[in-house]
């Protein structure tokens, strides 16, 4: 049935003047937001417990030299007993909000990107909202693994520009030590814990360029929880740790992600010469080096290498690396950075941002 026909058959109702009008003919009011959005504050939380390769190799059949050479990781952080995804999110969020200089009550939406919140439902985000004093904010989690934070930045900036929220909080957080098999040679030395957060809000000029994103479901199982919860229940399979086809993901990242990063630069109308920093997902130092080479980054562009001491923290890796570049003065406040997340899905998202 066509819309027109549907209208003509609708019952009538009264408008403000009392005159009847057919249902469905009234217009919907909308809201408009800020002309531009940007990242106003960044925060990070690194768990106190530092774990070196020797400790990892007490259980894993590997060695410090191999891990450093093949991944670039020297140490990583593991969350302490009872230190949850929500706890780490709260800590990172508080720092981001302080840097942004806003009242938590002004936050209209909280997006938590994570794959290691240990409840199927509800999401972690509503608890984070309560903890930080944004009690009534819309709050939900997204599952885009290592690309989750960059997906969240996209959603948040669109919300601010459309008027759905004046300020939005994006958190990337993982406690991957819970979902890693310490004896698995393909993952045990890589994955780690931590949280990073960003406050997105209105800005004078554009602070977040167009996002280039996408997915490749043909490689859905290249990084995945080993078994579904249903199979775990019905087949008594034990804890379903995350497993990874390392070489498949490595090749995809090295050859597929530099072009995505280049498209994000092109979409933002900037070149590598304009960049102050390159902040790719901290998956493997060799992947970071290969991408930097393909992009032909000038020597004065700071390259995030937080993986060395943070490991691969999936959704938390890009904001953690961003916070560190700023804290250590390796990238200037207000500078331009190209950020890129990629991982399970397979999924990816990249955008040029102005550093807070």
Closest CB to ligand UT7 among residues 161, 281? 281
Smallest gap from residue 258 Cβ to ligand UT7 (A)? 13
- Is residue 146 close enough to count as binding ligand UT7 by CB under 6 A? yes
For the question of residue 36 being annotated catalytic, the response is no
Residue of 77, 117, 151, 281 marked active site: 281
For the question of residue 9 being annotated catalytic, the response is no
Closest CB to ligand UT7 among residues 186, 259? 186
Smallest gap from residue 70 Cβ to ligand UT7 (A)? 4
The whole-angstrom separation of Cα 26 and Cα 29 is 10
Cβ atoms of residues 73 and 189 within 8 Å: yes
Q: Which residues from 175-204 bind ligand UT7, rule CB under 6 A?
A: 185-186, 189
For the question of residue 146 being annotated catalytic, the response is yes
Smallest gap from residue 328 Cβ to ligand UT7 (A)? 23
Tokens read off for 352? 């040029």
Residue of this chain nearest to ligand UT7 (CB atom): 246
| Strand bridging mode 242-244 / 37-45 | unpaired
Residue of 53, 77, 117, 146 marked active site: 146
The whole-angstrom separation of Cα 340 and Cα 146 is 9
Q: Which residues from 274-333 bind ligand UT7, rule CB under 6 A?
A: 283-284, 287, 312, 314
Q: In sequence order, what are the residues at sequence separation of 6 or more whose Cβ sits closer than 8 angstroms to the Cβ of residue 172?
A: 113, 114, 148, 149, 152, 195, 196, 197, 313, 314, 315, 316, 317, 318, 319, 320
Closest CB to ligand UT7 among residues 27, 218? 218
- Is residue 89 close enough to count as binding ligand UT7 by CB under 6 A? no
Burial of 204 (0-12, 13-18, 19+ CB in 10 A): exposed
- Is residue 246 close enough to count as binding ligand UT7 by CB under 6 A? yes
- Is residue 247 close enough to count as binding ligand UT7 by CB under 6 A? yes
Nearest C-alpha neighbor of 70 from the set 188, 192, 194, 182: 188
Size of the site for ligand UT7 (CB under 6 A): 20
Tell me the per-residue interface mask from 41 to 80 with ligand UT7, x by CB under 6 A, - otherwise.
---------------------x---x---xx---------
The residue ranges that bind ligand UT7 (CB under 6 A) are 62, 66, 70-71, 146, 185-186, 189, 223, 246-247, 249-250, 253, 283-284, 287, 312, 314, 343
Indicate which residues carry an active-site annotation.
146, 281, 312
């Amino acid at each position: 049935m066509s819309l027109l026909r549907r209208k003509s058959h609708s019952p009538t109702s009264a408008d403000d003047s009392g005159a009847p009008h057919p249902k469905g003919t009234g217009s919907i009011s909308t809201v408009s937001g800020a002309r531009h959005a940007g990242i106003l504050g960044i925060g990070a939380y690194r768990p106190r417990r530092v774990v070196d390769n020797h400790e990892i190799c007490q259980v894993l059949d590997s060695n410090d030299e191999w891990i450093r050479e093949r991944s670039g990781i020297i140490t990583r952080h593991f969350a302490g007993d009872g230190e949850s995804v929500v706890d780490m999110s709260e800590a990172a969020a508080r720092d981001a909000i302080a840097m942004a200089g806003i009242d938590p009550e002004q936050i209209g939406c909280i997006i938590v990107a994570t794959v290691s919140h240990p409840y199927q439902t509800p999401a972690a985000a509503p608890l984070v909202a309560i903890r930080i004093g944004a009690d009534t904010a819309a709050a939900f989690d997204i599952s885009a693994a290592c690309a989750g934070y960059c997906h969240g930045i996209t959603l948040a900036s669109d919300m601010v520009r459309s008027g759905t929220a004046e300020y939005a909080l994006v958190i990337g957080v993982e406690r991957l030590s819970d979902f890693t098999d310490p004896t698995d040679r393909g993952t045990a030395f890589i994955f780690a814990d931590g949280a990073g957060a960003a406050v997105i809000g209105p800005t004078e000029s554009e602070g977040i360029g167009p996002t280039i994103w996408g997915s490749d479901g043909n490689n859905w199982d290249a990084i995945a929880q080993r078994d579904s919860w249903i199979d775990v229940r019905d087949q008594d399979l034990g804890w379903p740790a995350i497993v990874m086809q390392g070489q498949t993901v490595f090749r995809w990242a090295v050859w597929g992600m530099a072009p995505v990063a280049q498209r994000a630069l092109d979409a933002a109308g900037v070149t590598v010469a304009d960049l102050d920093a390159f902040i790719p997902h901290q998956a493997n130092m060799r992947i970071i080096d290969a991408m930097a080479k393909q992009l032909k980054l000038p020597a004065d562009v700071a390259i995030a290498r937080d993986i060395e001491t943070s490991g691969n923290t999936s959704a938390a890796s890009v904001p953690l690396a961003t916070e560190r570049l700023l804290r250590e003065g390796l990238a200037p406040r207000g500078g331009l950075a190209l950020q890129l997340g990629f991982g399970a899905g397979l999924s990816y998202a990249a955008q040029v941002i102005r550093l807070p």
